């Protein structure tokens, strides 16, 4: 593992994340909201640090809230977005170099995956209404959606 990535894990107090990589929640709003979709009260906003190192990836998953990815440091990160009604997977290059964007918002309920394009990538992810594991699901648990992804981009099914 890259020495800087190891230092970030220690300094930021990151732990393994269920979808891959390392994370730590750094903010959870005390203000509560009631989303219109009747899922119950949620924190208005949550934020985490999220780190992926070479060879790791964030598995295909969806969150029922909007999620803003902000690039912090390292090599670019490829953010993959899948809408089963779309003809292709959308690829966003998150970073600060030409051809990249430093911030991208993933709409609520959109399938997403990510992978570093180099040694490591550190991002911050902000979710509103705030993240709750009850609002989280893996693509691998939805056979119809997994088949749709396989039809659109079979090479990306390995990230499930």
pLDDT at 85: 86
Query: Mean pLDDT, the chain, as a whole number?
Result: 96
- Kindly give the pairing relationship between strand 42-43 and strand 15-16: unpaired
Tell me the average pLDDT across 11-39: 96
What pLDDT score was predicted for residue 86? 87
- pLDDT value of position 103: 98
Instruction: Check residue 31 and give its pLDDT.
Output: 98
| Predicted pLDDT of residue 39 | 92
Partners of 4 in beta bridges: none
Whether the pLDDT of residue 40 is over 90: the answer is: yes
Domains of the chain in sequence order: 3-89+109-159 (2.60.120.10)
Q: What is the pLDDT of residues 70-93, one digit of tens each?
A: 999 999 999 999 998 888 999 999
């Amino acid at each position: 593992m890259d020495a800087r990535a190891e230092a970030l894990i220690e300094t930021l107090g990151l732990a393994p994340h269920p979808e891959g990589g390392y994370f730590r929640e750094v903010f959870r709003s005390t203000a509560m909201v009631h989303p219109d979709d009747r899922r119950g009260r949620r924190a208005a906003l949550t934020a985490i640090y999220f780190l992926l190192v070479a060879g790791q990836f964030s598995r295909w998953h969806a969150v029922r809230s909007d999620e803003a990815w902000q690039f912090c440091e390292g090599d670019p990160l490829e953010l993959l977005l899948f809408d089963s009604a779309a003809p292709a997977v959308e690829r966003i290059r998150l970073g600060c170099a030409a051809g990249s964007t430093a911030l991208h918002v993933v709409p609520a309920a959109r399938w997403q995956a990510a992978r570093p394009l180099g040694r490591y990538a550190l991002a911050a992810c902000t979710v509103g209404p705030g993240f709750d594991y009850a609002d989280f699901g893996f693509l691998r648990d939805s056979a119809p959606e997994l088949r749709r992804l396989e039809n659109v981009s079979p090479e990306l099914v390995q990230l499930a």
